[in-house]
């Protein structure tokens, strides 16, 4: 695939000849008043990360930003003069702007004024869905039929997500359906420690065709991505939201073309979205999001059939092959009476080829029930349990790309559950005794009532345990089936509370259990902002190491910096700096913390900021520099700190 990317947010009049813009296409916003003040030039990550439309919003509206990566496939195709479906470069955004069920032009105009035609797209209001989704579409060039996609294209998508990870709340990938399950599986492994929602979708009928399924798939994917933190690579298709590495394409013509045969869907799409939070697979490492792009292409899928010859085996397993998914019969069986085949498998295994045993059945898992299954393990073949062929082969590619892992470790990882892709042992029944006892006394019995009760009681009990600093209780609530990632009525997680309480051990525990650092509460505050608000630097550092970053309006951060400077709180300024804020960020009056500190005569802060600013001569909206403020209050000590070169 070409590495060219068209950032297609330009307006109708310019989109015919789409300019090749990068992520800087969000630039029109700068004309709207929330201008960015880079500390280290225009590529400064802090600058971009905080780009926001906050000052343009009615105070009650929450927005989330979603980046759509359009790779090709039926979904975006249009009919040419001969009524043949083809991908037309740069046409998707242009068309979407004309469809009021995919873009809210009135909101865009109110929000972005005259720049609305160039601005990002806005998903129309959906009843019951809190966040307005602001989205931008990155169109790949050329647009690909997914049958033509390769490992390089997965790397392209993964890198695009990585490059813009901090600027968006979630990602939607538009993709052809034919190899969509492979891409979803591959990305699930490549995106390590993913903390944000990634949804891949496509359609059976093009998005602008009258009977399209593409419009529903697309808008549902957008609204889920913009409203739920599901730190997984998911596939949204028809009425299901599925774990990506569990999906297979099951039909060429059914609108429910994908299934997840060995894993219950994470969500059901009906009139409402029913997302089951307990099914979300959460990364439980204290590590930042990274992309593993080094995928080994010397892998393959070998499907057994009666009378397959040993020469087929020999040819297939020959170098440079390094990893093979053997699609065996039933629950993992091969013909144990075929010594010729067994010999080929043994020889390859001894050469270091990793052979993974997966079943040909779409449903079920390999297990050593029969002698014909046991024989493979003795030859060094690794059980792949209930992995789909797509997951198994892409996982092999990922694992083999880990150059510093030993062969033994790679084999161990192949049979371990690393992204929810396999069920290695039968799931343990969670202990619901507590909820059941309360349910009995309230005469509640249906599964829906029980789960409602759990959803009501657990967050409150969890919050109380966090406030009390009671780690033992948190662990026992978890054992009772509480979802540690659950939110209360203010959309606050236990992690928000633990950060606000400054309780490092509990923050650590919650992060180890995969609680997301990206959930914003009703006031748009993340756990990181809570940690900043109590100046807990160790917690700030821990959150950053899990991929947390500042979000929201830069101006709002500017206001807070100025307010800290006015109060004389050097510690707060340091907390913001540690969290990634640019200390030179301006507030709505164009003032920086340095202006305010100078005005208030806070010597220690001025001294600190002068050392940390690239330019100490910035002017506020009154045209005044920080030094001029110091002169106005005739504070000699502060004036001296500006040195001779200042104005």
Active site positions, annotated: 74
Q: Of 260 and 585, which has the nearer Cβ to ligand ASP?
A: 260
Q: Of 149 and 610, which has the nearer Cβ to ligand ASP?
A: 149
C-alpha angle 245/247/252, rounded to 5°?
Answer: 145
Q: Which position's Cβ is nearest ligand ASP?
A: 176
Q: Of 53 and 258, which has the nearer Cβ to ligand ASP?
A: 258
Q: Of 217 and 357, which has the nearer Cβ to ligand ASP?
A: 217
* Residue 202 Cβ vs ligand ASP, minimum distance, rounded to whole Å: 5
* Residue 250 Cβ vs ligand ASP, minimum distance, rounded to whole Å: 13
Torsion of the alpha carbons at 611, 615, 621 and 624, rounded to the nearest 10? 70
* Residue 139 Cβ vs ligand ASP, minimum distance, rounded to whole Å: 15
Q: Which residues pair with 141 in a beta bridge?
A: 4
Instruction: Tell me how far apart the alpha carbons of residues 467 and 459 are, in angstroms, rounded to a whole number.
Output: 12
Query: Which among 72-80, 413-421, 464-472, 533-541 is the span making contact with ligand ASP, rule CB under 6 A?
Result: 72-80
DSSP annotation string for 275-327: E-GGG-----SS---EE-------EEEEE--TT--HHHHHHHHSTT--EEEEE
Q: Is 85 helix (H, G, I), strand (E, B) or coil?
A: strand
Residue 183 binds ligand ASP (CB under 6 A): no
- Chain positions 269 to 298 lying near ligand ASP, rule: CB under 6 A, are none
Q: Of 256 and 309, which has the nearer Cβ to ligand ASP?
A: 256
Query: Which among 66-74, 228-236, 408-416, 501-509 is the span making contact with ligand ASP, rule CB under 6 A?
Result: 66-74
Residue 147 binds ligand ASP (CB under 6 A): yes
Closest C-alpha to 170, from 63, 288, 66, 280: 66
Phi-psi region of 218 (alpha: psi -120 to 50; beta: other; left: phi over 0): alpha
Provide the mask over 106-145, with x wherever binding to ligand ASP is found by CB under 6 A and - wherever it is not. ---------------------------------------x
E strands within 78-130?
Answer: 78-79, 85-86, 121-122
Q: Of 202 and 244, which has the nearer Cβ to ligand ASP?
A: 202
- Chain positions 74 to 93 lying near ligand ASP, rule: CB under 6 A, are 74
* Residue 174 Cβ vs ligand ASP, minimum distance, rounded to whole Å: 9
* Residue 148 Cβ vs ligand ASP, minimum distance, rounded to whole Å: 8
Instruction: Tell me how far apart the alpha carbons of residues 442 and 220 are, in angstroms, rounded to a whole number.
Output: 37
Calculate the alpha carbon distances from 486 to 223, 230, 276, 482, 528 in Å. Answer: 20, 12, 11, 8, 17
Calculate the alpha carbon distances from 374 to 327, 335, 416, 604 in Å. Answer: 15, 11, 19, 73
Q: Of 220 and 577, which has the nearer Cβ to ligand ASP?
A: 220
Calculate the alpha carbon distances from 406 to 400, 409, 410, 424 in Å. Answer: 10, 5, 6, 21
* Residue 168 Cβ vs ligand ASP, minimum distance, rounded to whole Å: 24
- Chain positions 592 to 611 lying near ligand ASP, rule: CB under 6 A, are none
CA 102 to chain centre: 22
Residue 202 binds ligand ASP (CB under 6 A): yes
Count of CB atoms within 10 A of residue 418's CB? 17
Query: Which among 124-132, 154-162, 173-181, 517-525 is the span making contact with ligand ASP, rule CB under 6 A?
Result: 173-181
How many residues in the shown chain lie near ligand ASP by CB under 6 A? 11
List for the chain the helix, strand, coil content (%; round to 5).
40, 15, 45
* Residue 75 Cβ vs ligand ASP, minimum distance, rounded to whole Å: 6
Q: Of 28 and 202, which has the nearer Cβ to ligand ASP?
A: 202
* Residue 102 Cβ vs ligand ASP, minimum distance, rounded to whole Å: 18
Instruction: Tell me how far apart the alpha carbons of residues 469 and 551 are, in angstroms, rounded to a whole number.
Output: 27
Q: Of 153 and 178, which has the nearer Cβ to ligand ASP?
A: 178
Say if strands 85-86 and 78-79 run parallel, antiparallel, or are unpaired: antiparallel
Instruction: Tell me how far apart the alpha carbons of residues 308 and 569 are, in angstroms, rounded to a whole number.
Output: 75
Q: Is 516 helix (H, G, I), strand (E, B) or coil?
A: coil
Token pair in block for residue 147: 């049958």
* Residue 257 Cβ vs ligand ASP, minimum distance, rounded to whole Å: 8
Q: Considering only residues 28, 54, 117, 176, which one is a binding residue for ligand ASP as defined by CB under 6 A?
A: 176
Residue 73 binds ligand ASP (CB under 6 A): yes
Counting runs of H as helices and runs of E as strands, what totals does the chain give?
25, 20
Residue 247 binds ligand ASP (CB under 6 A): no
Residue 146 binds ligand ASP (CB under 6 A): yes
Residue 177 binds ligand ASP (CB under 6 A): yes
Under the rule (CB under 6 A), what is the footprint of ligand ASP?
Answer: 72-74, 145-147, 176-178, 202, 204
């Amino acid at each position: 695939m070409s590495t060219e990317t068209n950032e297609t947010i330009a307006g109708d009049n310019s989109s015919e000849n789409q300019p090749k813009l990068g992520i800087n296409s969000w630039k029109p916003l700068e004309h709207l008043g929330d201008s960015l003040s880079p500390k280290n030039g225009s590529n400064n990550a802090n600058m971009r990360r905080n780009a926001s439309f906050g000052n343009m919003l009615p105070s009650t509206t929450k927005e989330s930003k979603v980046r759509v990566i359009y790779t090709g496939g039926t979904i975006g195709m249009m009919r040419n003069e001969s009524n043949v479906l083809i991908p037309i470069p740069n046409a998707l955004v242009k068309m979407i702007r004309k469809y009021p069920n995919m873009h809210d032009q009135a909101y865009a105009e109110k929000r972005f004024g005259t720049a609305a035609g160039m601005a990002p797209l806005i998903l129309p209001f959906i009843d019951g869905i809190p966040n307005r989704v602001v989205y931008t579409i990155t169109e790949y060039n050329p647009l690909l039929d997914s049958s033509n996609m390769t490992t390089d294209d997965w790397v392209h998508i993964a890198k695009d997500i990585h490059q813009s990870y901090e600027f968006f709340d979630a990602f939607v990938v538009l993709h052809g359906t034919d190899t969509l399950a492979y891409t979803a599986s591959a990305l699930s492994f490549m995106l390590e420690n993913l903390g944000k929602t990634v949804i891949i979708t496509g359609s059976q009928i093009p998005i602008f065709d009258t009977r399209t399924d593409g419009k529903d798939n697309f808008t549902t994917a957008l609204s889920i991505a913009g409203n739920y933190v599901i730190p997984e690579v998911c596939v949204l298709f028809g009425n299901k939201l599925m774990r990506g590495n569990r999906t297979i394409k099951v039909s060429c013509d059914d609108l429910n073309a994908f299934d997840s045969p060995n894993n219950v869907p994470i969500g059901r799409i009906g009139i409402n979205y029913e997302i089951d939070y307990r099914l979300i697979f959460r990364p439980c490492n204290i590590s930042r999001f990274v992309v593993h792009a080094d995928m080994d292409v010397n892998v393959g899928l070998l499907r057994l059939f009666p009378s397959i010859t040993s020469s087929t085996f020999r040819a297939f397993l020959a170098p440079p092959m390094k990893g093979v998914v053997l699609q065996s019969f039933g629950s993992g069986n091969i013909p144990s009476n075929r010594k010729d085949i067994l010999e080929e498998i043994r020889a390859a295994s001894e050469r270091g080829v990793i052979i993974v045993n997966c079943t040909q059945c779409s449903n079920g898992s390999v297990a050593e029930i029969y002698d014909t299954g046991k024989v493979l393990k003795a030859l060094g073949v690794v059980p792949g349990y209930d992995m789909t062929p797509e997951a198994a082969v892409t996982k092999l590619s990922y694992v083999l790309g880990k150059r510093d892992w030993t062969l033994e470790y790679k084999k161990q990882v192949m049979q371990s559950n690393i992204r929810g892709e396999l069920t290695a042992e039968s799931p343990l029944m969670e202990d619901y005794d507590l909820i059941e006892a309360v349910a009995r006394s309230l005469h509640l019995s249906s599964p829906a009532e029980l789960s409602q009760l759990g959803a009501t009681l657990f967050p409150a009990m969890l919050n109380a345990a966090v406030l009390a600093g009671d780690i033992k209780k948190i662990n026992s609530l978890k054992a009772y089936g509480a979802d540690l990632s659950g939110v209360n009525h203010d959309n606050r997680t236990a992690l928000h509370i633990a950060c606000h309480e400054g309780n490092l051990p509990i923050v650590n525990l919650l992060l180890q259990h995969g609680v997301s650092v990206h959930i914003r509460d009703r006031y748009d505050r993340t756990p990181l902002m809570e940690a900043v608000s109590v100046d807990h630097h160790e917690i700030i550092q821990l959150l950053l190491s899990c991929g947390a970053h500042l979000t929201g309006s830069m101006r709002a951060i500017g206001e807070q910096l100025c307010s800290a400077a006015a109060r004389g709180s050097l510690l707060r300024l340091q907390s913001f700096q540690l969290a990634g804020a640019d200390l030179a960020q301006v507030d709505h009056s164009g003032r920086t913390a340095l202006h305010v500190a100078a005005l208030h005569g806070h010597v220690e802060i001025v001294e600190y900021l002068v050392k940390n600013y690239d330019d100490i001569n910035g002017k506020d909206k009154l045209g005044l520099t920080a030094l001029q403020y110091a002169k106005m209050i005739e504070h000699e000590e502060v004036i001296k700190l500006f040195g001779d070169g200042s104005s």
